[in-house]
């Protein structure tokens, strides 16, 4: 082999080695970039401490607000990596809500959850609520909207326009229960949801029972509210409801003390005085015959069912028992009722209860 041939072969070998080295370097770079790419997308990046599982995105937030909230909340090991994945997956539209996230999630999982709006519902419970302002205060503890926003909506006639209710009958629409709602449910959508639940509550069976009692669903709720205020004893509610059904059927004024308390604006009154019975109000059933314009409170389900399943008897009068047990003495005649009333007045005087 000539020197020229050896030199040529040497040059070929060196070129080949350079190509191998270059390919090796490119492969290492590719592996590095691939691993970096994979890690940013699929490696665990979410950190969630105990009690910090819920992540909230307020209405009106933009993408930068989400980034800041995640970073300030300590949810991310690598914020830049998350932003990179968010851009890669075109997470541009922010969907407000309440999201339950888990420790060890990947950027991919977190982006997918937030981008899809896959939020966790809130269980909203309300019962034993008298007024709409009380309802607003209770519900706002669960939702994004504050009590002022909610009460403004509940006080608006237009909010109930499409549901067939007005300001007086509105308390009948809210059926006490536990409901699953989105955290960012607006006051208007809350009212719409409650109307939907109201229609669901009034099943064919309940509607038939109301018709049999010669009452509309709203009238049932109006009477149920009075029953709820008359007695805290569930086993006595059907009996109380039957008494008022008897009075309605005989066109006798209900003369229900709770309606007077409502007219006075004070349910804490323990003793209704004679002067109270003369208060001018459409809710005063000592002056006006029939049911009041609407429920004096948000009725309970037990109160509604007590009216629908009222006890059939001949009682027309009732008075709280003198032993303050919470139960009542019932009477068929005014003479017997007056005897019961005197017993209760003596008990009030003995215990120095004058109001």
Q: Are residues 65 and 107 in the same domain?
A: yes
Residue 101: per-residue pLDDT: 94
162 and 276 part of one domain: no
Which residue, of 201, 225, 260, is where some domain finishes?
A: 201
pLDDT at 15 over 60: yes
Model pLDDT, residue 261: 94
Residue 78 lies in a domain: yes
Number of Cβ within a 10 Å radius of residue 266: 11
Do 187 and 152 meet the contact criterion of CB atoms below 8 Å apart?
A: yes
pLDDT in tens, 17-67: 666 766 666 665 555 555 566 567 878 999 999 889 999 999 999 999 999
Cα distances from 191 to residues 54, 61, 150, 283, in angstroms, run 25, 24, 9, 25
Contact call for residues 160 and 171 (beta carbons, < 8 A) = no
- How many domains does the structure of the chain reveal? 3
What residues make up the domain containing 98? 54-116
Token reading at 109? 């999982």
- Average pLDDT value for residue range 81-88: 92
Q: What is the pLDDT of residue 272?
A: 86
Of the candidates 259, 243, 257, which has an alpha carbon nearest to the alpha carbon of residue 293? 259
DSSP string, 208-275: HHHHHTT--HHHHHHHHHHHHHH-S-GGGHHHHHHHHHHHHHTT-----HHHHHHHHT-TT-SS--GG
User: Tell me: the pLDDT tens digits for 167-200?
Assistant: 899 999 999 999 999 999 999 999 999 999 999 9
Answer whether residue 345 is part of any domain.
yes
For residue 14, is pLDDT > 70? no
**Do 299 and 131 meet the contact criterion of CB atoms below 8 Å apart?**
no
| pLDDT at res. 274 | 87
Q: Does one domain contain both 209 and 309?
A: yes
Tokens of 192: 């719409």
Q: Please check the confidence at residue 355 and state whether its pLDDT lies above 90.
A: no
pLDDT (tens digit per residue) in 140-156: 999 999 999 999 999 88
Residues 342 and 209 in one domain: yes
Residue 193: its pLDDT value, please?
95
What is the structure's pLDDT at 298? 97
Residue 41, pLDDT score = 80
Count CB neighbours of 232 within 10 A: 11
Is 226 in contact with 256 (CB distance < 8 Å)?
yes
Average pLDDT, the chain: 89
Q: What is the pLDDT of residue 151?
A: 93
* Average pLDDT estimate for 88-115: 94
DSSP class of residue 309 equals: T
Write the burial class of residue 180 (CB in 10 Å: 0-12 exposed, 13-18 middle, 19+ buried).
exposed
CA 273 to chain centre: 38
Would 227 be classed as within a structural domain?
Answer: yes
In a domain, 195, yes or no: yes
Residue 22: other Cβ atoms inside 10 A = 10
171 and 92 in one domain? no
Q: For the domain that residue 64 is a member of, what is the CATH number?
A: 3.30.1490
d(CA 65, CA 94): 9
163 found inside a domain: yes
323 and 226 in a single domain? The answer is yes
Give the angle 189-132-256 at the CA atoms, nearest 5°: 140
Residue 9 resides in a domain? no
Q: What is the DSSP letter of 279?
A: -
Q: What is the pLDDT of residue 17?
A: 63
CA 314 to chain centroid: 40
What is the token pair recorded at 342? 């005197």
Q: Kindly tell me if the per-residue pLDDT of 225 is higher than 90.
A: yes
Count helices and strands (H / E) in the chain: 14, 6
Q: Whole-angstrom Cα distance, residue 191 to residue 185?
A: 10
The answer to whether residue 1 scores a pLDDT higher than 90 is: no
pLDDT exceeds cutoff 90 at 161: no
């Amino acid at each position: 082999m000539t020197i020229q041939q050896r030199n040529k072969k040497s040059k070929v070998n060196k070129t080949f080695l350079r190509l191998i080295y270059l390919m090796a370097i490119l492969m290492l770079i590719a592996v590095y970039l691939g691993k970096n790419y994979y890690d940013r997308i699929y490696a665990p990046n979410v950190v969630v401490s105990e009690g910090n599982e819920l992540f909230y995105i307020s209405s009106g937030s933009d993408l930068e607000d989400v980034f800041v909230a995640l970073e300030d909340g300590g949810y991310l090991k690598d914020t830049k990596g998350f932003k990179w994945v968010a851009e890669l997956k075109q997470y541009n539209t922010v969907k407000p809500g309440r999201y339950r996230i888990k420790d060890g999630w990947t950027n991919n999982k977190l982006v997918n959850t937030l981008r899809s709006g896959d939020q966790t519902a809130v269980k909203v419970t309300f019962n034993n609520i008298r007024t709409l302002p009380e309802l607003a205060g209770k519900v706002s503890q669960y939702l994004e909207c504050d009590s002022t926003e909610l009460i403004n909506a509940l006080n608006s006639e237009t909010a109930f326009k499409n549901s067939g209710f007005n300001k007086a009958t509105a308390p009948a629409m809210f059926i006490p229960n536990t409901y699953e709602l989105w955290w960012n449910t607006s006051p208007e959508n809350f009212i719409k949801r409650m109307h939907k639940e109201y229609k669901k509550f009034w099943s064919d069976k309940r509607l038939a029972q109301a018709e049999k009692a010669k009452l509309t669903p709203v009238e049932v709720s109006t009477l149920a509210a009075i029953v709820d205020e008359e007695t805290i004893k569930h086993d006595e509610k059907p009996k109380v409801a039957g008494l008022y059904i008897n009075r309605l059927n005989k066109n006798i004024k209900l003369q229900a003390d709770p309606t007077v308390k409502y007219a006075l604006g004070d349910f804490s009154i323990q003793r209704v005085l004679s002067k109270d019975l003369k208060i001018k109000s459409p809710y005063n059933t000592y002056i006006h015959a029939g049911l009041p314009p609407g429920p004096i409170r948000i009725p309970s389900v037990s109160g509604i069912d007590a009216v629908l399943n009222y006890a059939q008897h001949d009682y027309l009068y009732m008075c709280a028992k003198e032993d303050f047990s919470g139960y009542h003495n019932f009477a068929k005649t005014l003479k017997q009722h007056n005897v019961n009333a005197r017993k209760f007045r003596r008990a009030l005087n003995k215990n120095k209860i004058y109001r």
